[in-house]
Structure 1
Amino acid sequence: MRTMLTLALLAFAMPAFAANHAVQIKDMKFHPAKISVAVGDTVTFTNADSKTHTATADDGSFDTGQLAKGKRAKVKISAAGAHPFHCAIHSSMTGTVTAK
């Protein structure tokens, strides 16, 4: 019984692992445009479009820089809440990362 209790306590004490989420840039849109993640997770933006794009948070919390076709960038989401983002080159391209 004591061993089971010890194992149960260790399971709760183990750190959570951050997940990686994918957003593809294609046809002048983010796919998916809305994504839910946990604080500490990363989002990988991959440009599958023929034009150069960015994924730039409106609040300045992340910016991929310019991504040419076939390039990707990872950003870490470090704060809870909604983080709207856009392409700094094409302002009609928008999305939101929501972190809990």
Structure 2
Amino acid sequence: MRTMLVLALLAFAMPAYAANHAVQIKGMKFTPSKISVAVGDTITFTNADPMTHTATALDGSFDTGHLATGKSAKVKISAAGAHPFHCAIHSSMKGTVTAK
């Protein structure tokens, strides 16, 4: 019984590791367009389209800058809540990051 208690306490004491998620830009859309992450996680946006795109949060919390074909950018999600984003060049391209 004591061993189980020690193991349970150790599990709670272990640090949580941030995850990395992937979003692909292809066919004039973000895939996936809706993604759920934890605060502190990163998202790698990769442009597989033949034209330049961005992934720009409407609340200003992240911006990949211009991504040419084949380029990637990582953004860290630092606040909880919904963070709608779009391509600043092609406003019809939209998505949402939800962080808990």
Query: Which segments of 5 or more consecutive residues in structure 1 lack a partner in the other structure?
Result: none
Q: Are 2:56 and 1:56 aligned?
A: yes
Aligned-pair identity (%): 87
Look up the equivalent residue of 1:54 and give its one-letter code: T
Instruction: Map 1:79-90; keep pairs closer than 5 Å.
Output: 79-90=79-90
The 4+ residue runs of structure 1 with deviation greater than 4 A are: none
Q: TM-score with structure 1 length normalisation? A: 0.95
Query: Which segments of 5 or more consecutive residues in structure 2 lack a partner in the other structure?
Result: none
For residues 35 and 4 of structure 1, what CA distance do their matches in structure 2 show? 36
Shift of 1:4: 3.3
Q: Deviations over 1:20-70 (max 9, x none)?
A: 111000011001111111111111000000000000000000000000000
Aligned alpha-carbon RMSD (Å): 0.9
Q: TM-score with structure 2 length normalisation? A: 0.95
Aligned to 2:51, what secondary structure does the other structure show? coil
For residues 98 and 45 of structure 1, what CA distance do their matches in structure 2 show? 16
Q: Which residue of 2 aligns with 1:34?
A: 34
